Amino acid sequence: MCALLLGGEAPSAPPPPAPLVGFSYSPIISTYLNRDPGADLATLLTRTNPDLVRLPVYWDLTQPSPGLLDFTVTDQLLEVVADHNRASPRPTRVILTVGARNFLFPELHAPAWAGPRQQPELGQLGPHASTVALGGCNDVAASLEGVIVVDEAPNRRG
């Protein structure tokens, strides 16, 4: 009783936060099935209201030719998430997966112009870092949780 009066009893720790729940989405599957990737992603977001969604930035779609970067597919998917967040009481955050090695078979998504490439070893990164610029969506910064660089493009000097 004396310990309680003197504050010797430690207060109980608060419960840990609930685990985050989410999914990975690839527009390639929807395209393969002749469906609209944006509509499919919107449906998944509405039906599941996840904490996180992982979206790929495929090298072959983003850089169809040397010196040309086209983030149209990524921007469209990010806009779908932004639209969902404007209508949802709880926002969904985005994790972008960037690089030649990305999810969905085949795991390597290198453009044809890059030439043949062998499957790199896990953990092996190229000698240079890359920067991804995202445009077209003002709400992206608020919902972007992180960027995962899975594999770097080979250092090609001509």
Cα separation, 66 vs 116, in Å, equals 15
Q: Which domain holds residue 145?
A: 20-112+125-151
Structural domain contains residue 4 = no
Within 10 A of 119 (CB to CB), how many other CB atoms are there?
Answer: 10
47 is written with which tokens?
């039906």
Q: Give the tens place of pLDDT for each residue, 73-95.
A: 999 999 999 999 999 998 999 99
Structural domain contains residue 119 = no
Q: What is the arithmetic mean of pLDDT over 134-139? A: 40
Structural domain contains residue 28 = yes
Number of compact structural domains in the chain: 1
Structural domain contains residue 58 = yes
Structural domain contains residue 2 = no
Of 64, 61, 89, the C-alpha closest to 73 is 61
Structural domain contains residue 84 = yes
Using the structure block, give the residue that is written with the tokens 């991804």. Answer: 132
Structural domain contains residue 104 = yes
Of 146 and 31, more confident: 31
Of 10 and 94, more confident: 94
pLDDT tier at 136, thresholds 50, 70, 90: very low
Structural domain contains residue 7 = no
Using the structure block, give the residue that is written with the tokens 């919902």. Answer: 143
